[in-house]
Amino acid sequence: MMKCSKTFKSLLSLTLAAVLCLGGMTAAFADPGPAGNDDVHIQKVLQTPQGTPIPAAAGFSFYFDFTAKYYDTDGNTLVNGVQMPIPNAIQIDVLSTDTPVTNTGLDTYTKASGKIFDGVAWTAPGMYVYEIAERPTTYTNAATGETMTDSTVKYQVVAYVENDSPSGFKVADIVVWTLDPSTGDRVAKIDTSTGFVFTNVYEGNGGHTAADPAMTVSKTVAQSPKADYNRYFPFQIDTTIAATQTGTVTYLAYLKDATGIIAPVAANGEGTNFTATTDGSGKPCIAVTPGTPLNINLKHGQSVAFVDMLVGSTFTAKETAVANYQGSIALTLGGSSSNIPTPGYGAEVSTGEARLGAGENTAAFTNEVNATAITPTGISTNDLPFIAMILLAIGAMAAYVVIKSRKKSSNEN
């Protein structure tokens, strides 16, 4: 009797272990997730550098396509002999009238679809597996300098369908997985409470030719009989990349005057502490690394034109203090103009951090000479009192020498 009891207990333990094991296998296969979750949507995110406008005509339309993968683990896409239903492509529009959230130089637009399986005519209860990917936009336009980086992420979406009535069906649950882009295998199950995300990046080049630059810093000396139009004024120009950019970026800057591009770049007094190079057409220019200041000297009529800066990138241009000259700046960003008044003679003048907009971006520096402080000989009137004192001392010394010499001569006679 005792032996029978032990045998029964052993069989009972094995049976329970087998049941638990099978239960775990069933859960792993079905993977239903939280019950009753049919309100799942696509979340479209579009990121742009701050201030980059969405094209006003039609904005952007993004499309998301469904591909039937399998109904069961055998790879079958037929349900009761009928092909799995393919949901219609979902369209999400981002328009120029939409308002982005701006943070640290980045504008983010977020739009959501409705329930992804609304309107689908299910044919039987079961597990339906789909792959969802965003259709490429092909919006990149080299001629206008616009670039759209499309989302390449793919998701596996599993819909668990059950009977809703004798003749109808409903989605009981939806589970979403990210997929490995190279193998197509599941990577991780995601929280679908806020939808599953496709992110695109749209950028606009402010200008990519010397004739149509992204940003220009120019130098003018106001007309005056005392102005020196051949004098070089030292500038420091700092640039930064847009918030959407990563990795190593190089801008090209062209030194120009009224006749066009100056060659060689360091022809006279412009300086040499920068990297002179040539562009793809052999034109002389300067290679500028964002984050590293460009130190260059400019004289009347000269300018530095930067290309390939994105709308939303920033710059700071400042002119070092020069005695007897005062500078002011006419600043234009994205076509909107403002003035930075002069801080006075012999003082540094700066744009401060300025962000490129869509349209003209210029910082026009104008210097005025202090005519009352400059004499025709180039001697400052501020120094005249000291010069007069020196001349007076020299005169007194000369008079003393003459008088003493005469007295000596008189005594000898």
Provide the pLDDT for residue 138.
Answer: 83
Mean pLDDT for 88-114 is 96
The count of domains in the chain is: 3
Q: Confirm whether 209 is domain-assigned.
A: no
Please write the tens of the pLDDT for every residue from 137-157.
988 887 778 899 999 999 999
Question: 412 or 362: which carries more pLDDT confidence?
Answer: 362
Q: Are 331 and 387 in the same domain?
A: no
Q: Are 228 and 130 in the same domain?
A: no
Q: Does residue 241 register a pLDDT over 50?
A: yes
Provide the pLDDT for residue 32.
Answer: 43
Q: Confirm whether 378 is domain-assigned.
A: no
Nearest of 104, 68, 101, 74 to residue 87 by alpha carbon: 68
Q: Are 337 and 392 in the same domain?
A: no
Alpha carbon distance 307, 325 (integer Å): 30
In this predicted structure, which of 130-134, 208-212, 220-224 has the lowest mean pLDDT? Answer: 208-212
Q: Confirm whether 11 is domain-assigned.
A: no
Where does the pLDDT of residue 31 fall: very low under 50, low under 70, confident under 90, or very high at 90 and above?
very low
Positive or negative, the CA dihedral 74, 78, 83, 89 is negative
pTM confidence score: 0.79
Domain boundary among 204, 230, 254: 204
Q: Does residue 19 register a pLDDT over 60?
A: no
Question: 403 or 82: which carries more pLDDT confidence?
Answer: 82
Mean pLDDT for 195-216 is 94
Please write the tens of the pLDDT for every residue from 319-372.
999 999 999 999 999 999 999 999 999 999 999 999 999 999 999 999 999 988
Q: Are 223 and 350 in the same domain?
A: yes
Strands 42-49 and 196-204: parallel
Q: Does residue 18 register a pLDDT over 90?
A: no
Mean pLDDT for 39-59 is 93
Q: Are 179 and 156 in contact (CB under 8 A)?
A: yes
In this predicted structure, which of 11-25, 36-50, 386-400 has the lowest mean pLDDT? Answer: 11-25
Domain coverage including residue 276: 215-373
Q: Does residue 204 register a pLDDT over 50?
A: yes
Q: Does residue 378 register a pLDDT over 70?
A: no
3-state secondary structure the chain: CHHHHHHHHHHHHHHHHHHHHHHHHHHHHHCCCCCCECCCCEEEEEEEECCCCCCCCCCEEEEEEEEEEECCCCCCCEECCEECCCCCCEEEEECCCCCCEEECCEEEEEEECCCCCCCCCCCCCEEEEEEEEECCCCCCECCCCEEEECCCCEEEEEEEEEEEECCEEEEEEEEEEEECCCCCCEEEECCCCCCEEEEEEEEEECCECCCCECEEEEEEECCCCCCCCCCCEEEEEEEECCCCCCCCCCEEEEEEECCEECCCCCCCCCCCCCEEEECCCCCEEEEECCCCCEEEEECCCCEEEEECCECCCEEEEEECCCCCEEEEEEEEECCEEEEECCCCCCCCEECCCEECCCCCEEEEEEEEECHHHCCCCCCCHHHHHHHHHHHHHHHHHHHHHHHHHHHHHHHHC
Where does the pLDDT of residue 9 fall: very low under 50, low under 70, confident under 90, or very high at 90 and above?
very low
Q: Are 275 and 173 in the same domain?
A: no
Q: Confirm whether 20 is domain-assigned.
A: no
Q: Does residue 30 register a pLDDT over 80?
A: no
Q: Are 334 and 232 in the same domain?
A: yes
Count CB-CB contacts under 10 A for residue 386.
Answer: 9
Q: Are 194 and 312 in the same domain?
A: no
Exposure letters 398-407 (e unless 16+ CB within 10 A, then b):
eeeeeeeeee
Q: Does residue 173 register a pLDDT over 80?
A: yes
Q: Confirm whether 26 is domain-assigned.
A: no
Q: Are 197 and 326 in the same domain?
A: no
Q: Are 237 and 90 in the same domain?
A: no
Domain boundary among 204, 228, 253: 204
Please write the tens of the pLDDT for every residue from 242-299.
999 999 999 999 999 999 999 888 767 898 889 999 999 999 999 999 999 999 999 9
Q: Are 62 and 178 in the same domain?
A: yes
Q: Residue ranges of the alpha helices (H) in 134-251?
A: none
In percent, how much of the chain has pLDDT > 70? 81
Q: Does residue 376 register a pLDDT over 90?
A: no
In percent, how much of the chain has pLDDT > 90? 65
Q: Are 142 and 233 in the same domain?
A: no
Alpha carbon distance 380, 377 (integer Å): 9
Beta bridge partners of 37: 173
Read off the CATH number of the domain in which 166 is found.
2.60.40.3050
Alpha carbon distance 281, 279 (integer Å): 5
Q: What is the mean pLDDT of the chain?
A: 84
Mean pLDDT for 4-13 is 44
Provide the pLDDT for residue 83.
Answer: 86
Q: Confirm whether 19 is domain-assigned.
A: no
Q: Confirm whether 6 is domain-assigned.
A: no
The three-state secondary structure class of 377 is coil
Q: Are 288 and 307 in contact (CB under 8 A)?
A: no
Please write the tens of the pLDDT for every residue from 58-100.
899 999 999 998 876 677 888 777 889 999 999 999 999 999 9
Q: Are 232 and 156 in the same domain?
A: no
Q: Confirm whether 98 is domain-assigned.
A: yes
